Structure 1
């Protein structure tokens, strides 16, 4: 259900690398919590065994870097009853570790029947619920993340197909798991961006380009042996055709579910390049150079995009910006942060609790020692003091109060985000020798202020809802 954008360092206005994702949920609603830097939890040091949230067992790694994350509030209740997997180490979604590496996982994807038959997925293997928990505490570069996750997939097998984003202050890598044991990853060019929905995207890549691509052992031979491609070409390899499935006009469900989102995102970032919408079964470019350098505001615009004002207005039914989003994040990694803070701050997470349509992007410093309880205490039951549930309350109000009220709130959120982005970089420029302290104070105060402001907004909306009900 997710949508991601990855941006190389020379394609952004600040020189940061960016990976960002809307974490969307089809039906089950579970709050997302915010956790500061913490160490991984190992179940049995004596037995050298690490039991992850889905039951996967691996040897305890040699590396154990601290990292921040955004786990589900509910966790895997059944597994937690039977095994000691630690508190909220499940569906951790995204984070930055103490080595200055970020990741976000995952974009769920489908596998075509032929690839699935030739290399079946593995129950209780590598899957979204445990990928961040397993990988982020071990890696010291984006490329290291790709290679480590790939090694786990080849050894233990994957339970599902996924797209995973990695970044550090220098590089951005995007990885796709295409079957039980096969995967591929590409380096996003420094001057380009990549958009991902819920279908495999990697196509027309050179398998011999050792600087910019990684993949599972014998992948080309596997594709050739089982005829997953009609005429496989190492120099122009189409992973998405070999392992994924392309949307078709005769798909009676939602034939344009993925391609519409890729089209609108590329349209926003390259408005003067004419691309036909819904070019099924053709594929949109994997990488594009943006018309102008991409700012945080532009990333926000992509993550909140719908089709109003475009030729797909009234036709496309799956926008990028949706009330199904349980959290959204924009992760900036920039060497200037580390240099100015003596390594204390490696990157910044702009975090929205709930849908970014109606929830601000807050500056979250991974190294914060304390996060208000409203962000890290919560269950699957409604709680007026939990920030996720406040977002859900607002969305419920909008379903009755209508689009005009929702659009007014959306406009205010956009203005607040713009002010927050500007204020952040003003602090970076003016903080002098104590940038660490200045950013920690700004981040802490932003979280506190948002609690107060959201309470006021929720009270107003509920009051307005009561007035609306009296009209019947």
Structure 2
């Protein structure tokens, strides 16, 4: 399992944006080159077949343009992962999560079954396609939704119709809301809206805890679910909350308590969760809400292995895109669990799975800015390769193509941001402190230039709009599209120059420490 998700509601960000962000991490010993591209409507398939599941789906004939971060090598499928569409809706898919045996027994996953035998011979059994999964979720969902809620309902419909071969969490955002969706078994799902003044840290484990069944089956203000969820839970005895004490009133919905803990009902509670998942949530929540007394003292209620930290929490201060980038790059900085730190022991420094791990393929921070005009509203911050060593570039999403430097080839080259950041990480890791200053300056400068690009481009287009030369609420305005594309290219050109410079610096530092070094005074 891999990936870490960080979601932020609009009242918890510095500029009122909704933020959907995620590290896309490969499986063990897996390093998948990723690229940032734009899929235009004419390039969107109308018939889609999954590589892993062999499932063929007919898609609607009215797709929207969208950004995405697919695999550089499409042999194993698209794996589009994250993006923003032309309706300014963001999507991140997926956070691989865990379900317990009770759930998987009640609603088994829909797994591909290869053909058995030879066609025409006795006993031959044709293949049985599997369901949908991470490989294809953005491709079959994001181009067809105009709000975050529509994302929840479309994905829910697809899972109910086709099933899924894995358990996943998916996030959607628009200018007003952020929603987090989780599938429960092969065909069931739940979703919860992120409170506007809160953030959510989501590692590879079922996350949603408190659930309001009445709202999910009724008004759907903050909760949504598959239509038969209550009946399914009841039929399979899936609720695990202890009943209310004698005399305490309990509101019932279809024979079930209105409020229950979905995490306890559907997720796992194992030692692997304590080592692999819980520490990531503990560290980020304890740093984003340090005032919470449950993280304080010599024997805090919440520690690195705590499995019941609340799903959503209120930060002590507002967050920005650059904050989110930094937190998703952390290796538990300042603690005894930091692999690059000096505290603790060799054992503690590699005791828990890090947030910023070596096998991160890319991190996307998807910002929908409600205070910006419609055509400028979506910003896709793209940070390929390992978080402690890379930077994020701020790309306007409303364009028809991304700069070539972000379109990663399958082979190693210094003409690619992904491969350059991979090289910087590989060279910088063995001499972290020697390379740290150069890498941090690189990140600070390039992300500052990203903010400057957004500010200057917004202002330039506002001026053109005032002069009647651009319509900032028209996603297809030619002047807007050309200006945004030019701004993206100009920023990437600056980032490319600085990336090459820091790669040279790290290479020099690494080279002078080679074991075969010998100088005239080495005697």
In structure 2, the residue matched to 1:83 is none
In structure 1, the residue matched to 2:60 is 61
TM-superposition CA deviations, 1:81-124 (whole Å, max 9, x none)? xxxxxxxx710011111111110111111221221122111123
Provide the C-alpha distance between the structure 2 equivalents of 1:230 and 1:11, rounded to a whole number of angstroms. Answer: 33
Match of 2:240 among 220, 224, 230: 230
Matched residue SS, 1:5: strand
Q: Which moved more, 1:276-285 or 1:1-10?
A: 276-285
CA deviation after TM superposition for structure 1 residue 405, in Å: 2.6
Cα distance 1:15–1:126, how it changes in 2: closer, same or farther (>3 A)? same
Cα distance 1:390–1:282, how it changes in 2: closer, same or farther (>3 A)? closer
Map 1:115-154 onto structure 2 (within 5 A).
115-123=103-111, 124-154=130-160
CA deviation after TM superposition for structure 1 residue 360, in Å: 1.4
Task: Say if 2:72 is the partner of 1:73.
Answer: yes
Task: Say if 2:512 is the partner of 1:467.
Answer: yes
Match of 1:221 among 209, 224, 231: 231
CA deviation after TM superposition for structure 1 residue 393, in Å: 1.3
Map 1:416-435 onto structure 2 (within 5 A).
416-417=445-446, 419-420=448-449, 422-424=451-453, 426-427=455-456, 430-431=459-460, 432-434=462-464
TM-score of the superposed pair, with normalisation by structure 1: 0.88
In structure 2, the residue matched to 1:262 is 281
Give the unaligned 5+ runs of structure 2. 112-129, 243-255, 339-343, 465-471, 473-479, 519-523
* Matched-pair contact (CA < 8 Å) for 2:205–2:267: yes
Provide the C-alpha distance between the structure 1 equivalents of 2:190 and 2:173, rounded to a whole number of angstroms. Answer: 16
In structure 1, the residue matched to 2:3 is 2
Provide the C-alpha distance between the structure 1 equivalents of 2:187 and 2:18, rounded to a whole number of angstroms. Answer: 29
Cα distance 1:323–1:116, how it changes in 2: closer, same or farther (>3 A)? same
In structure 2, the residue matched to 1:363 is 394
Give the unaligned 5+ runs of structure 1. 78-88
TM-score of the superposed pair, with normalisation by structure 2: 0.80
Matched residue SS, 1:255: helix
Larger radius of gyration: 2
Task: Say if 2:403 is the partner of 1:372.
Answer: yes
CA deviation after TM superposition for structure 1 residue 458, in Å: 2.0
* Matched-pair contact (CA < 8 Å) for 1:42–1:60: no
* Matched-pair contact (CA < 8 Å) for 1:40–1:137: no
CA deviation after TM superposition for structure 1 residue 308, in Å: 3.0
Map 1:96-111 onto structure 2 (within 5 A).
96-111=84-99
Task: Say if 2:479 is the partner of 1:412.
Answer: no
TM-superposition CA deviations, 1:313-357 (whole Å, max 9, x none)? 5434222122221111111102232x2xxx333300111121232
In structure 1, the residue matched to 2:118 is none
Matched residue SS, 2:151: helix
Provide the C-alpha distance between the structure 1 equivalents of 2:434 and 2:400, rounded to a whole number of angstroms. Answer: 37
Cα distance 1:143–1:236, how it changes in 2: closer, same or farther (>3 A)? same
Match of 2:501 among 449, 453, 456: 456
Alpha-carbon RMSD across the aligned residues, in angstroms, is: 2.4
Task: Say if 2:12 is the partner of 1:11.
Answer: yes
